[in-house]
């Protein structure tokens, strides 16, 4: 028996804003979406060119209270092939939340405050 990682799901309050963030900040693109005809919820899968792993954004109609996205202890990590260029983009976007120059990494946050670690390609 074997397993392959497929996707990671996070909840978002504003689906359009979140999709736009992930497209600009990390170069992801929408690969599929689904939801019921009544519009009570919607899921959107995003992917990038460098990995088969996908990000699933789940939106629930009417939700206004922020989600507890793991209490700040859970995060995604993305490798950047040009960490300086990535840092400049994220600095311009105003989404950097923490930097660790000694380790050569930093964190950004999506519109819902979900943490994303940016690491240099190894």
Model confidence pLDDT, tens digit, residues 55-91: 999 999 999 999 988 777 899 999 999 999 999 999 9
Specify the 3-state DSSP secondary structure of 98: strand
**Side-chain half-sphere CA neighbours of 79 within 13 A:** 6
Express as a percent the part of the chain with pLDDT over 70.
Answer: 100
Residue that is written with structure tokens 């309050």 in the block: 13
Sheet with 54-60, side-by-side order of all strands? 7-12, 54-60, 41-47, 29-34
How far is 2 from 21, CA to CA, in rounded Å?
Answer: 34
Burial status of residue 52 (CB atoms within 10 A of its CB: 0-12, 13-18, 19 or more)? exposed
Contact 103, 95 (CB under 8 A): no
Give domain limits for the chain: 7-62+72-120
Contact 42, 63 (CB under 8 A): no
How far is 82 from 79, CA to CA, in rounded Å?
Answer: 9
Catalytic machinery residues = 117
Mean pLDDT, rounded, of the chain:
95
Mean pLDDT computed over 93-102:
97
Q: Is 80 exceeded by the pLDDT of residue 113?
A: yes
Mean pLDDT computed over 107-118:
96
CATH 3.10.180.10 fits 7-62+72-120, yes or no: yes
């Amino acid at each position: 028996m074997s397993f392959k990682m497929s996707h990671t799901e996070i909840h978002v309050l504003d689906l359009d804003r979140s999709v736009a963030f992930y497209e600009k900040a990390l170069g992801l693109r929408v690969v599929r979406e689904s939801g019921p005809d009544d519009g009570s919820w919607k899921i959107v899968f995003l992917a990038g060119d460098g990995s088969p792993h996908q990000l699933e954004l789940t939106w629930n109609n009417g939700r206004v209270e922020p989600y507890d996205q793991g209490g700040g202890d859970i995060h995604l990590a993305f490798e950047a092939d040009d960490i300086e260029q990535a840092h400049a983009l994220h600095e311009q976007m105003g989404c950097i939340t923490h930097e660790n120059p000694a380790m050569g990494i930093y964190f950004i946050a999506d519109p819902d405050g979900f943490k994303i670690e940016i690491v240099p390609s190894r």
